């Protein structure tokens, strides 16, 4: 048994390329998400059609362009050119200022501005719209005498648990889940399928080692590897991105271990079902990874997906694990608030192990 585990470790560690990638993926993902993927706008290329070219219109344009959000890509000269400007694909917003802008404001106290947005990305379009509107309201305030003596509600907003809406809070739980899935389920399923494909599995099966020992031996190194990956991610989040870990760390690690074991049993199950590495791989890829990316909620908010997706989500272990991590790590909750989710993952583990044993027995008979 010991020798067998050593053999597995040797095989994994000798394959340097896989190893680098194995640990490289989580690190790169964390860094990418932390530094590159920001859900806020910056330097959005816009175009302007200024029909007035007078005092206020120029002031407003200067105000818009001096914000860090927008850069002027093009000055459009006529209505006809608008469509063309968009089709070239660069600009995301076109601001149309009506004729006699200053005069209208001075004489009639009213003037019009039209914002045309490239809404093919609705989320970005929404953000651009609210940023621009905010700048325009500011401008309005500037050109008016004070608002004092006006009854009005000033809402103070507080973002609890994540005051700066830092995206680290979203992607760390997500990346941990994905990496544990990748390393645990995918690696085991492929490694077992590989032994089957190369015929070495049969050699192992006729040896005096018991099947359960073979499986344990195969799985053990991956438990360690997965655990190291999880630690790396947590470490990066803590040091590089200064994400606080509010909750109980031993509890967090214990839950991670449980999830790893669940993922491994899923991996074993996949490998008993698949007869080649290729199939095992594509199955894990499609059945595990995309759902864990999506349902971990680090890109798209988990709640409020259509009901059918929510139901599918219930059958996906990653969903539950993400809830657990977020509760412990960010909210600082104890086992009391995540016992249900923990039981569900435990249930998945038992289910997959049971299925694998059943499949395995059938094959031997």
Partner 1 sequence: MKTILYIIQKEFLQIFRDRMMLPIIFVIPIFQLLILAHAATFEIKYVDLGIIDLDQSLASRALVRKFEASPFFRVKARSFSLDKLSEEMQNSRVEQILYIPANFNNELENKHPVKIQLITDAVDGAAAGIMNTYALSIVKDFNRNLLIQSKTLPLNIKSIETRTSYWYNPDLDYKTFMIPGILVLLVSIIGLFLSGLNIVKEKEIGTIEQLNVTPIKKHHFIIGKLTPFWFIAMFDLFFGLVLAKFVFHIPIVGSIGLIIFVASIYLVLVLGIGLFISTLADTQQQAMFIAWFFVVIFILLSGLFMPVENMPDWAQVINIINPIAYFIDFMRMVMLKGARFADVSYHIISITIYAILSISLATWRYKKVV
Q: Measured from the CB of residue 340, what is the shortest distance to partner 1 in angstroms?
A: 11
Backbone angles phi, psi at 171, to 5 degrees: -85, -20
Q: Measured from the CB of residue 350, what is the shortest distance to partner 1 in angstroms?
A: 26
| Cβ distance to partner 1 smaller for residue 169 or 259 | 169
Q: Are 300 and 174 in contact (CB under 8 A)?
A: no
Q: Measured from the CB of residue 131, what is the shortest distance to partner 1 in angstroms?
A: 11
Alpha-carbon distance 250 to 247, whole Å? 9
| Cβ distance to partner 1 smaller for residue 37 or 249 | 37
Q: Are 92 and 118 in contact (CB under 8 A)?
A: yes
Beta-bridged to residue 47, according to DSSP, are 74, 94
CA dihedral of 252, 255, 259, 260, whole degrees rounded to 10: 70
| Cβ distance to partner 1 smaller for residue 133 or 207 | 133
**What is the CA angle 319-320-323, rounded to 5?**
90
| Cβ distance to partner 1 smaller for residue 338 or 349 | 338
Mapped to the 3 state alphabet, what secondary structure does 289-325 carry?
A: HHHHHHHCCCCCCCCCCCHHHHHHHHCCHHHHHHHHH
Q: Measured from the CB of residue 200, what is the shortest distance to partner 1 in angstroms?
A: 12
Given strand 93-97, what is the order of strands in its sheet?
70-75, 44-50, 93-97
| Cβ distance to partner 1 smaller for residue 77 or 144 | 144
Q: Measured from the CB of residue 116, what is the shortest distance to partner 1 in angstroms?
A: 5
| Cβ distance to partner 1 smaller for residue 317 or 349 | 317
Q: Measured from the CB of residue 270, what is the shortest distance to partner 1 in angstroms?
A: 11
């Amino acid at each position: 048994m010991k020798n067998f585990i050593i053999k597995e470790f040797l095989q994994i560690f000798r394959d340097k390329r896989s190893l680098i990638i194995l640990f490289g993926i989580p690190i790169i993902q964390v860094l990418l998400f932390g530094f590159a993927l920001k859900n806020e706008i910056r330097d959005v290329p816009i175009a302007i059609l200024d029909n007035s070219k007078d005092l206020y219109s120029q002031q407003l344009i200067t105000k818009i362009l001096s914000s860090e959000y927008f850069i002027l890509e093009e000055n459009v000269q006529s209505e006809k050119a608008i469509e063309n400007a968009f089709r070239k694909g660069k600009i995301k917003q076109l601001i149309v200022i009506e004729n006699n802008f200053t005069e209208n404001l001075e004489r009639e106290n009213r003037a019009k501005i039209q914002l045309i947005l490239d809404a093919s990305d609705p989320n970005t379009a929404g953000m651009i719209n609210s940023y621009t509107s905010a700048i325009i309201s500011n401008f309005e305030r500037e050109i008016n005498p004070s608002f004092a003596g006006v009854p009005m509600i000033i809402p103070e907003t507080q973002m609890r648990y994540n005051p700066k809406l830092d995206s680290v809070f979203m992607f760390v739980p997500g990346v941990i889940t994905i990496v544990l899935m990748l390393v645990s389920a995918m690696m085991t399923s492929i490694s077992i399928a590989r032994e089957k494909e190369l015929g070495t599995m049969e050699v192992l099966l006729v040896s005096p080692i018991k099947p359960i020992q073979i499986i344990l031996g195969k799985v053990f190194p991956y438990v360690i590897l997965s655990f190291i990956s999880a630690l790396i991610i947590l470490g990066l989040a803590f040091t590089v991105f200064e994400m606080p870990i509010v909750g109980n760390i031993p509890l967090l690690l214990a839950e991670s271990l449980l999830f790893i074991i669940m993922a491994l049993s899923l991996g074993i199950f996949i490998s008993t079902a698949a007869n080649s590495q290729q199939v095992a791989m594509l199955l894990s890829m499609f059945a595990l990874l995309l759902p864990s990316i999506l349902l971990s909620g680090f890109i798209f908010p988990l709640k409020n997906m259509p009901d059918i997706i929510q139901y599918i989500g219930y059958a996906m272990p990653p969903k539950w694990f993400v809830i657990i991590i977020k509760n412990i790590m960010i909210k600082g909750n104890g086992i009391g608030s995540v016992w249900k989710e923990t039981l569900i993952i435990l249930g998945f583990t038992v289910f997959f192990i049971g299925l694998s044993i059943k499949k395995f027995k059938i094959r031997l008979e």
